[in-house]
Structure 1
Amino acid sequence: MSISKRSYIQCRTEISSRTIFICCTILSLLFFISSAKTCKKYTFPSNQVFHSCRDLPVLKAHLHWSYIPSTRSVHIAYRAAQTPKGWVSWAINPTGNGMIGSQAIVAFSRIDGSMNVYPTPINSYNPSMQPGALTIPVSNISATYGNNQMTIFAVLGPLVNGTTFNLVWQEGSTVTNGIPQMHSTSGPNIESVETLDFLS
């Protein structure tokens, strides 16, 4: 074999090895980034710890929870991607599997940057989205905003009808005069329902 041909083959081999190495590095990085976005990899700034979590299938949302059998209550943290001008909500529906009947908690950012968070029952397809009493006891409500993400914290209970509930979560892009406005009525916004057993 001539020197030039041997050099050519060696060069091709080095390029192929380098290409494989670069591809593997990129894939590893993408896997790391993807893994970091899962709920199990998330660390709350306040160092709160929850026993369970789930990456919800739509709206870039995640639910963390701890169920306390002795009090039949559940401590939750609901996280979802959002801009400072938008709003998010998370709800339990004890009577159905859709929007109507949902017992919701809604959060959004005020003009001064502080968070406004409160319970609101969803009794129609055109709800008031104003503060109101829920049919499920709720306490310790708070919310935070950071890294383009809103987080709702709350304690629900005692839960008198078991531990399996229909969940509904939602988001919208606009808040006007302190009232969250209508969300999109297509795509992920109408797919944000799921059944969850808090013992899971």
Structure 2
Amino acid sequence: MKMGSLFTPLLLPLFCLCLTLISPTHSTDCSSLKLSGGKKQYSNCTHLPTLNATLHFTYNATNSSLSIAFSAPPAKSGGWIAWAVNPTATGMAGSQALLAFKNNGSMVVKTYNISSYSSIVEGKLSFDVWDLEAEAGSDGKMVLYGSLKVEESAEKLNQVWQVGPGIADGHPMKHEFDKANLGSVGELQLVEKLTPSSPSPSPQIANANSGYGLRVTQLNVGFWILGLIYFIVFM
């Protein structure tokens, strides 16, 4: 058997493995979470765990404000979506909600102080809000935009999100009480905490150093494999 016949089947898988190791890795970002309008940019985004919802947000520590874009499909055509902050608890009761729905063909956003599960009252919230607007996307989702004032030095918020079936006499109809609806609560982390044992370099330097070390390690492994290939084929 000729050496060339051994070279091709042996070289190809090892060469592909070498290229895989040498290629740099790419971290995930917000590129896969597109807002229907795409007219605003946010620093962070996350898939919320229920109701097919996403949240884009930017926290500004200098003026203690939070800008959000909440996206979800309403429970039914003509339904509503809502995103809320609960300043005192982790559930729906006590939450301060932004609720979006279509009214006479136009999307509107209203504020609701939800003092209990049986009382949903439209009115002013316990914190300032501004730049409220909403839009309906061609994908069946609605997007709710807004900015709100948060407590100074806040590191996290209790958030609640929900979708409902419709509007009756100008009031939102009750949402379902399925598992997904009851589980639509969680924490929104505004500031990432560093572990006590870790130094506090700037994020840019830390990311650059870690990426460089990874590339060097990958290159070393790649060259080792190429050397092994040379030894097997030509020795």
TM-score by length of 1: 0.75
Tell me the equivalent position of 2:126: 135
Higher helix share: 2
1:86 aligned residue (75, 79, 85): 79
Alignment of 1:6-155 (within 5 A): 40-44=31-35, 45-82=37-74, 83-110=76-103, 112-128=104-120, 130-147=121-138, 148-155=140-147
1:193 equivalent to 2:218? Answer no
C-alpha deviations, 1:156-197, integer Å up to 9, x for none?
A: 114336131111001111211121111111220100001111
Equivalent pairs, count = 162
Which amino acid is 1:49 matched to?
Answer: Q
Once the 2 structures are TM-superposed, how far is the Cα of residue 199 of structure 1 from its aligned partner? 2.4
Q: How has the CA–CA distance of structure 1 residues 39 and 132 changed in structure 2, closer, same or farther, with 3 Å as cutoff?
A: farther
Higher alpha-carbon deviation: 76-85 or 86-95: 76-85
Q: Which runs of 5 or more structure 1 residues have no equivalent in the other structure?
A: 1-34
Contact 2:95 2:160 in 1 (8 A): yes
Which 4+ stretches in 1 moved above 3 angstroms? Answer: none
Q: Which runs of 5 or more structure 2 residues have no equivalent in the other structure?
A: 1-27, 193-235
Q: Percent identity?
A: 33
2:151 aligned residue (156, 159, 164): 159
Contact 1:39 1:62 in 2 (8 A): no
CA RMSD between the two structures:
1.9
Contact 1:115 1:143 in 2 (8 A): yes
TM-score by length of 2: 0.64
- Name the SS for the 2:154 alignment partner: coil
Contact 2:64 2:153 in 1 (8 A): no
**Bigger radius of gyration, 1 or 2?**
2
